Amino acid sequence: MNFADSEVVASIMAEVGVETTNDEMEADIIFINTCSIRDNAEQKIRNRLKHLRHNKKQNKELTIGVLGCMAERLKKQLLEEEKLVDIVAGPDAYKELPVLLREVEDGHKAINVMLSLEETYAEIQPTRLNSNGVTAFISITRGCDNMCSFCVVPFTRGRERSRNPESIVAEAQDLVNKGYKEVTLLGQNVDSYLWYGGGARKDFDKLTADEQKSSISFANLLEMVAQVDPSLRVRFSTSHPKDIHDEVLYVMRKYDNVAKHIHLPAQSGNTRILEKMNRTYTREWYEMKYNRIKEILPECSVSCDIITGFCSETEEEHKDTLDLLRKCEYEFSYMYFYSERPGTLAARKYEDDVPEEVKKRRLTEVIEIQHEIAIKRNAAQVGKVHTVLIEMQSKKNANEWMGRNSQNIKVIFPKGNFKMGDYVDVKIERSTTTSLIGVAVL
């Protein structure tokens, strides 16, 4: 999401004649787009800022801006704590960056952390950064209206709003015209996408009958993007289990070019913890959703996010998470130990009482199980043929391509006469935890 936002920022800056460079010593302005989701994400930024002292010494005119969630969370405090920072801009203030830069030129520090109910940057054509020319992100919603008790996102990214579908389809079409072959529709909770002509999102049942009739749901939007071009593979992320409906699954089934992969974060396998996390579903509901996906789309892969050691989690409750992992056999998971975020519901209401070593040990157990599952799942693909979209040269071998199958698993195979952006049928010969290795079927 930050990557997509940086592309919006690059486009806004290009409008005022500022170009991007890959050489940071050459830069006159350095913007760091930040994440606040866990404490270590913020620590990384603090370290990064320490390194930038060197840049500032070399170039006294260098302007340093901190953008995104950490800017939003810390606001003025960031300017006080990190003396070399000149600009602090929240996720809804990117259009103001040229103005903020002028303030810095006039010798002031500059800050804008206003959140918006409307801003979606719909009309901005992102400048693709370090692009492979094959895959690209398209933001479809901003912010989040869920209040998961552990999560800082609603505070740093503001209220959920959906982007005008015409601008999304136009962006997809533009990418096709430029030769791109895959788009990923991005939002914190893509399935709650809702456009009814008025901009900011409202609950469906609060719309008038007319608005309901003409509104566009995520299933409608997915279909619109799928229809842009049959050779454009369409992905989306993230799906909140409470909001993914059968209609979305039917659209996925109807269109070959909609990738068969759903990122469906569970966070925990225990109902009491889920309730405390305010995820609004139970373990049983989650499994029901999972089963429904597999029923309608048997070949669909499902991936997950897990948090270990959330407030008051017992050993038994942790075991429920391990059990969920074994049951669902996710293709892959993003796994973390709980990191208390200031200002969140959990920070205010619950004690962060699971000792760090226990959180980490539980995380290791989760990772080990996920690892075993991935090995087993990938090994089961040996002998099968997968359609792979070539994304880049393999990092390990210049004679091999790396691409992904529809299920979002990496596939490596000899280059032959293929090129980036080709769809190739690859027969899998062996596998590792993270990838499938094979040869093209001619």
Taking alpha carbons only, the member of 92, 98, 145, 96 closest to residue 119 is 92
Please report how close the Cβ of residue 150 comes to ligand SF4 at its closest, in angstroms: 7
CB atoms within 10 A of CB 136: 22
Nearer residue to ligand SAH within complex by CB, 113 or 346: 346
Nearer residue to ligand SAH within complex by CB, 8 or 148: 148
Taking alpha carbons only, the member of 141, 157, 160 closest to residue 236 is 141
Nearer residue to ligand SF4 within complex by CB, 263 or 377: 263
3-state secondary structure of 111: strand
Please report how close the Cβ of residue 154 comes to ligand SAH at its closest, in angstroms: 10
Q: d(Cα 200, Cα 187) in Å, to the nearest integer?
A: 14
Cβ distance 225 to 255 under 8 Å?
no
Nearest 10 degrees: Cα torsion 308, 188, 237, 298: 70
| Footprint on residues 249-278 left by ligand SAH (CB under 6 A) | 265, 267
Q: Please pick, from the candidates 36, 189, 270, 308, the single residue that binds ligand SF4 as defined by CB under 6 A.
A: 189
Nearer residue to ligand SF4 within complex by CB, 238 or 431: 238
Q: Which residue type sits at 145? A: D
341 binds ligand SAH (CB under 6 A): yes
C-alpha distances in Å from residue 222, one per residue of 18, 133, 135, 174, 406: 34, 22, 17, 17, 16
Q: Which does 41 bind (CB under 5 to 8 A by kind): ligand SF4, ligand SAH, none?
A: none
154 binds ligand SF4 (CB under 6 A): yes
| Footprint on residues 38-77 left by ligand SAH (CB under 6 A) | 38
188 binds ligand SF4 (CB under 6 A): yes
What are the strands of the beta sheet with 301-308, ordered from one edge? 261-263, 301-308, 333-337
Please report how close the Cβ of residue 334 comes to ligand SF4 at its closest, in angstroms: 12
Q: Which does 307 bind (CB under 5 to 8 A by kind): ligand SAH, ligand SF4, none?
A: ligand SAH
DSSP secondary structure, 54-90, as one string: HHHHH-TT-EEEEEEHHHHHHTHHHHHH-TT--EEE-
Cβ distance 136 to 94 under 8 Å?
no
401 binds ligand SAH (CB under 6 A): no
Nearest 10 degrees: Cα torsion 145, 151, 156, 160: -20
Q: Please pick, from the candidates 10, 136, 151, 252, the single residue that binds ligand SF4 as defined by CB under 6 A.
A: 151
Q: Which residue type sits at 181? A: K
Site string for ligand SAH, 204-243 (x = CB under 6 A): ----------------------------------x-x---
Q: Please pick, from the candidates 174, 229, 305, 400, the single residue that binds ligand SAH as defined by CB under 6 A.
A: 305
Q: Please pick, from the candidates 94, 121, 137, 150, the single residue that binds ligand SAH as defined by CB under 6 A.
A: 150
Please report how close the Cβ of residue 276 comes to ligand SF4 at its closest, in angstroms: 13
The residues binding ligand SF4 (CB under 6 A) are: 144, 146, 148, 151, 153-154, 188-189, 240
The residues binding ligand SAH (CB under 6 A) are: 37-38, 150-151, 188-189, 238, 240, 265, 267, 305, 307, 336, 338-339, 341
